[in-house]
C-alpha cells in the first residue's frame, strides 16, 4: 500500500476516525495503531508480519534482560546475541543470495566447477529499517540512553508504526518511546503537515516519476546508445529523482505521524546545497547517517585514535552504509566513493577549512561536491558495476551529439528540483502560517483540489518508492 494511492487514503481515513473516537483512551489508541500498522504491512505480504513480530519480541526481550541485571558481562552477552540475531535475519533475507553469487564467482576464478545453489529468498520490504530500529533500542538500553520499555504494546508500536515502517526515517527509541509514555498535550500541526504531504506528493508523483520514466530509466538501461550530454543530464535527473522520491516519502511519513499526534525527526535538509561531503551527510538521509555515526563509526573508535584510524573508520562506516542499501558490489563502490571522499576531505581540511571563506569559493565547492555525489549516484543507479563503467566511459566522447532523451520538460523538472534545494526555509513557515489561518473544511477542500491537480499532472499508475527495496 503506497502513500499516494486511493487505498491508502481510505486506510488513513479509517485510522483518523479511530484516533478521533479514542482521543482520550491512549492505550486503546496505541493498540489500534499497532493493528493498523500490521494491516498496512500485510498489504505487501502477510508472512512478513511474523518477521516484524519476531524482531519486535526479540528487541523487547533483549531490552528487558539487559535492564534486569547489573552484571556487565551478562548485559554485553545479551546485547551481542540480540544484535547477532537481528543482523542474522537481515543477512538471511537480504544478503544470502549475494553471498552465494560472490562465492560462486570466487570459485569460478579459482577454477572450481561446483556452484552453490541460490535460495531466492523473498526480500521483506522495510527489513533494514525495522532491524535498525531494534538494534538502536537494545544498544541504547545497554548504554543507558533510554529507559527499558516495559510495555510490549509500546515496543510493538515503536517497531511497526506504519508511517516509518517501510522506508524510514529511522526513529530512535530515545526519541519515540517517551512519546508513548503519555498522551501528547501539543496541538496537532495540521497546516505544516498538509504542506509536507502536498509537497511530497508533487515531488514523487510529478518530478520523480516523470524523470524516471522519461529520462533516467531509458538512459541507464542503454548508456552506450546516448551521447555525453544525455548521459550528463540523466545523472543530474537521477540526483533529483532520488532526492524527490526519498525526501517525499520522508516528508509524508513525518506529516502522517504528526497528524496522528507524534513527532518525527527531520530526514533531509536541502542536501545538494552542501559545500563539503561531511555537510552533505548532515543533510542527506539524516536519520541513517546519524545512526551509522552513533552505532558504527563511534564504536569503531571514531576520530579518537589518530588520523589513519579515523580514515579507516570513515571508510568502513560508508562501506557498510553502502551494503545496507543493497546486496551488490555497485553499492560497495558507492560506499567506497563516499568513504574515500570523507577521508580525503579530512586529509585536506587543514588547508581548505570546514567552510568556504568567500561566496565564489562556496559556489565552486557546492558545484564540485554535487558532481562528486552524481558520480557516486551512477554506481548506485546502474544495473551493475559493468553498466556503471560503460556509463562513465560514455563521458569520454560524444559531447557534440544532440540531446535525444533529455527534452525541455525533463530539463525543466531537473531545474525545479534543483531550485528547491536553494529556497529559503522561511517559505515553508510562511506557507504553513497562511494555511494555518484556514478552517478545517477549507484545509480539507484545498488539499483535495491540490491532490486532484497533482493526480491529473502525474503519469498513470504509481511507481514504488526507490527506498522500499532497501
The residues assigned a catalytic role are 325
Q: Between residue 421 and residue 460, which ones bind another protein under the rule CB under 8 A? A: 429, 432-433, 436, 440-441, 443-445, 447-449, 451-453, 455-457, 460
Burial class of residue 163 (count of CB atoms within 10 Å of its CB; 0-12, 13-18, 19+): buried
Site for another protein in 144-183 (CB under 8 A): 144-148, 169, 172, 174-175, 177-178
- By beta-carbon proximity to another protein, the closer residue of 108 and 433 is 433
* Cell numbers linked to 25: 483512551
Site for another protein in 243-262 (CB under 8 A): 250, 254, 258-261
Could you give the angle at the alpha carbon of 450 between the alpha carbons of 447 and 456, nearest 5°?
A: 140
CB of 364 to another protein, least distance (A): 29
CA-CA distance, 288 to 277, in Å (whole number)? 15
Q: Which is nearer to another protein, 78 or 319 (CB)?
A: 78
CA distance linking residue 91 with residue 170, whole number of Å: 19
CB of 124 within 8 A of CB of 45? yes
Q: How far is the CB of 386 from another protein (least distance, A)?
A: 31
Handedness of CA 40, 44, 50, 56 (dihedral sign): negative
Q: How far is the CB of 229 from another protein (least distance, A)?
A: 11
Residues counted in the chain: 470
Smallest separation, CB 465 to another protein (Å): 16
CA distance 335 to 319: 4
Q: CA 139 → CA 67, 99, 146, 251, 444, distances in Å?
A: 11, 27, 9, 27, 42
Choice from 403, 416, 418, 463 touching another protein (CB under 8 A): 403
Find the binder of another protein among 64, 309, 346, 469 (CB under 8 A). Answer: 64
Binding track, positions 111-140, relative to another protein; x by CB under 8 A: -----------------------------x
- Of 54, 75, 239, 220, the C-alpha closest to 144 is 75
> Which residue shows C-alpha cell 529520462?
215
Q: How far is the CB of 90 from another protein (least distance, A)?
A: 21
Interaction mask 23-62, another protein, x per CB under 8 A? x---------------------------------------
Choose which of 55, 241, 267, 313 interacts with another protein (CB under 8 A). 267
CB of 302 to another protein, least distance (A): 16
Kindly state the number of chain residues that form the binding site for another protein, as judged by CB under 8 A.
82
Task: Compare residues 418 and 453 and give the one whose CB is closer to another protein.
Answer: 453
**The binder of another protein chosen from 151, 290, 303, 356 (CB under 8 A):** 290
Q: Residues 6 or more apart from 107 whose CB is under 8 A from it?
A: 114, 115, 116
Amino acid at each position: 500500500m503506497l502513500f499516494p494511492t486511493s487505498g491508502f487514503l481510505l486506510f488513513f481515513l479509517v485510522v483518523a476516525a479511530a484516533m478521533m473516537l479514542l482521543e482520550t483512551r491512549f492505550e486503546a489508541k496505541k493498540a489500534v495503531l499497532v493493528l493498523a500498522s500490521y494491516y498496512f504491512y500485510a498489504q505487501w505480504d502477510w508472512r512478513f508480519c511474523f518477521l516484524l513480530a519476531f524482531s519486535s519480541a526479540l528487541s523487547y526481550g533483549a531490552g528487558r534482560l539487559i535492564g534486569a541485571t547489573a552484571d556487565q558481562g551478562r548485559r554485553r552477552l545479551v546485547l551481542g546475541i540480540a544484535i547477532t540475531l537481528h543482523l542474522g535475519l537481515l543477512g538471511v533475507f537480504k544478503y544470502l543470495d549475494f553471498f552465494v553469487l560472490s562465492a560462486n564467482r570466487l570459485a569460478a576464478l579459482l577454477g572450481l566447477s561446483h556452484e552453490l545453489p541460490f535460495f531466492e529468498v523473498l526480500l521483506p520490504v522495510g527489513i533494514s529499517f525495522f532491524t535498525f530500529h531494534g538494534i538502536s533500542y537494545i544498544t541504547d538500553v545497554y548504554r543507558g540512553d533510554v529507559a527499558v520499555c516495559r510495555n510490549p504494546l509500546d515496543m510493538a508500536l515503536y517497531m511497526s508504526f506504519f508511517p516509518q515502517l517501510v522506508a524510514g526515517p529511522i526513529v530512535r527509541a530515545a526519541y519515540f518511546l517517551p512519546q508513548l509514555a503519555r498522551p501528547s498535550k501539543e496541538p496537532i500541526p495540521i497546516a505544516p503537515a498538509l504542506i509536507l504531504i502536498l509537497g511530497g506528493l508533487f515531488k514523487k508523483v510529478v518530478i520523480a516519476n516523470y524523470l524516471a520514466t522519461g529520462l533516467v530509466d531509458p538512459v541507464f538501461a542503454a548508456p552506450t546508445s546516448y551521447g555525453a550530454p544525455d548521459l550528463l543530464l540523466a545523472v543530474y535527473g537521477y540526483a533529483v529523482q532520488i532526492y524527490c522520491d526519498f525526501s517525499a516519502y520522508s516528508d509524508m511519513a513525518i506529516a502522517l505521524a504528526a497528524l496522528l499526534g507524534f513527532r518525527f525527526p527531520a530526514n533531509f535538509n536541502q542536501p545538494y546545497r552542501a559545500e563539503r561531503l561531511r555537510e552533505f551527510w548532515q543533510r542527506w538521509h539524516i536519520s541513517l547517517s546519524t545512526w551509522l555515526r552513533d552505532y558504527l563509526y563511534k564504536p569503531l573508535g571514531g576520530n579518537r585514535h589518530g588520523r589513519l584510524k579515523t580514515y579507516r573508520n570513515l571508510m568502513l562506516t560508508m562501506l557498510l552504509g553502502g551494503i545496507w542499501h543493497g546486496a551488490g558490489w555497485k553499492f560497495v563502490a558507492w560506499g567506497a566513493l563516499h568513504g574515500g571522499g570523507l577521508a580525503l576531505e579530512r586529509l585536506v581540511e587543514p588547508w581548505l577549512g570546514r567552510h568556504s571563506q568567500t561566496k565564489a569559493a562556496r559556489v565552486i565547492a557546492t558545484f564540485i561536491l554535487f558532481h562528486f555525489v552524481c558520480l557516486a549516484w551512477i554506481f548506485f543507479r546502474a544495473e551493475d558495476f559493468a553498466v556503471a563503467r560503460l556509463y562513465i566511459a560514455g563521458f569520454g566522447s560524444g559531447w557534440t551529439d544532440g540531446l535525444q532523451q533529455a527534452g525541455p520538460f525533463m530539463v525543466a523538472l531537473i531545474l525545479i528540483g534543483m531550485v528547491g534545494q536553494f529556497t529559503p526555509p522561511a517559505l515553508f513557515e510562511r506557507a504553513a502560517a497562511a494555511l494555518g489561518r484556514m478552517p478545517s473544511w477549507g484545509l480539507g477542500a484545498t488539499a483535495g483540489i491540490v491532490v486532484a491537480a497533482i493526480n491529473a499532472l502525474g503519469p498513470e499508475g504509481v511507481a514504488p518508492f526507490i527506498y522500499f527495496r532497501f
